[in-house]
């Protein structure tokens, strides 16, 4: 089983739709969960960061973590064409054995069409 | 807003040559990382660095790789003898506290011929 699994898509939605992206993981030591957005041939840009379980909202973005199910989600409301990018989940057990090493999912390619 | 910078943006080299990739992390950050992304694949961890020494390295980070913080601002990744399979995008990242938000640079695209 892969440590972090993410459906690569591609996912295509109309402008204004609610987008749901998710990742599952197998390492129960993960405590820090992040979502990055990556445009083609650019560096990952941090979108959301969550520690342990729960929800976090920032504007049109909501991140959810369910540690009991080892499942994390990112919701994008009122999606815009500028949201078209690859979305990467990443996680870490920092403070444990990994010294901050991030383990990434494959990335989901999202296209929002006008 | 502070950001991580990387130079060069592109590097083409011949197999067997040495390359040095450079990064300037965010100034008050103490933890530094290198990752790589082969085209179409996942972002993969290479190495973490704190207090002038390697904290952790992956199995990819073999004896051909080294990292250094030569002064108070730069953080470098050296590949001693490049191989074709080293062709990838290399990202530097930094964080203020271990494990928390890591900020990535724009990357260096390395092509080994």
Instruction: Find the mean pLDDT for residues A77-96.
Output: 89
pLDDT in tens, B39-53: 889 999 999 998 899
Query: How large is the average pLDDT for residues B5-30?
Result: 96
Q: What average pLDDT is seen over chain B?
A: 93
Determine the average pLDDT of the residues in A49-54: 86
Chain A residues within an 8 Å CB radius of B61: none
pLDDT, tens digit (0-9, with 9 covering 90-100), for B59-96: 999 999 999 998 878 999 999 999 999 999 999 999 88
Which residues from B are below 8 Å from A99, CB to CB?
A: 31, 48, 50, 55-56, 98-99
- Which residues numbered 1-30 in A keep a CB inside 8 Å of some CB on B? none
Lowest-confidence pick of A19-33, A70-84, A94-108: A94-108
For residue A23, the SS3 value is strand
Is the model's pLDDT at A96 over the cut of 70?
A: no
The closest CB to that of B106, out of A42, A46, A88, belongs to A42
What pLDDT sits at residue A95? Answer: 59
Q: Nearest chain B Cα to A51, which residue?
A: B100
Confidence at A66, pLDDT banded by 50, 70, 90: very high
Q: With an 8 Å Cβ cutoff, are B31 and A100 in contact?
A: yes
| Residue percentage of chain B with pLDDT more than 70 | 97
Please check whether residue B74 touches A, CB under 8 A.
no
- Among chain A residues, the shortest Cα distance to B50 is held by A99
Q: Which residues in chain A are closer than 8 Å to B93, comparing Cβ atoms?
A: 102
Average pLDDT over residues A92-100: 66
Q: Do A95 and B98 touch (CB under 8 A)?
A: yes
The yes-or-no verdict on residue A97 having pLDDT over 60 is no
> Which pair of structure tokens corresponds to residue A73?
């989600």
pLDDT at A93: 82
Give the whole-number percent of chain B exceeding pLDDT 90: 78
Tokens of residue A110, six digits: 């999202």
Q: Are strands A71-76 and A61-66 parallel, antiparallel or unpaired?
A: antiparallel
Burial of B84 (0-12, 13-18, 19+ CB in 10 A): exposed
Compute the nearest-CA separation of B29 from chain A (Å): 13
């Amino acid at each position: 089983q892969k440590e972090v699994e993410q459906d690569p898509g591609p996912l295509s939605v109309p402008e204004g739709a609610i987008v749901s992206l998710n990742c599952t993981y197998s390492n129960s030591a993960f405590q820090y969960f992040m979502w990055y957005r990556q445009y083609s041939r650019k560096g990952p840009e941090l979108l959301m960061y969550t520690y342990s379980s729960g929800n976090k909202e920032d504007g049109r973005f909501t991140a959810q973590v369910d540690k009991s199910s080892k499942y994390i989600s990112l919701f994008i409301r009122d999606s815009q064409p500028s949201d078209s990018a690859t979305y990467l989940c990443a996680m870490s057990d920092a403070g444990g054995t990994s010294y901050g090493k991030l383990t990434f999912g494959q990335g989901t390619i999202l296209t929002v069409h006008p | 807003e502070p950001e991580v910078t990387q130079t060069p943006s592109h590097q083409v080299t011949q197999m067997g040559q040495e390359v040095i990739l450079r990064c300037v992390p965010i100034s008050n950050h103490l933890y530094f990382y290198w990752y790589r992304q082969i085209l179409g694949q996942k972002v993969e961890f290479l190495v973490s660095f704190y207090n002038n020494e390697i904290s952790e390295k992956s199995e990819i980070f073999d004896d051909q790789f080294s990292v250094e913080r030569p002064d108070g601002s730069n953080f470098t990744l050296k590949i001693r003898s490049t191989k074709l399979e080293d062709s990838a995008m290399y990202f530097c990242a930094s964080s203020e506290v271990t494990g928390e938000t890591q900020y990535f640079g724009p990357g260096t695209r390395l092509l080994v011929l």
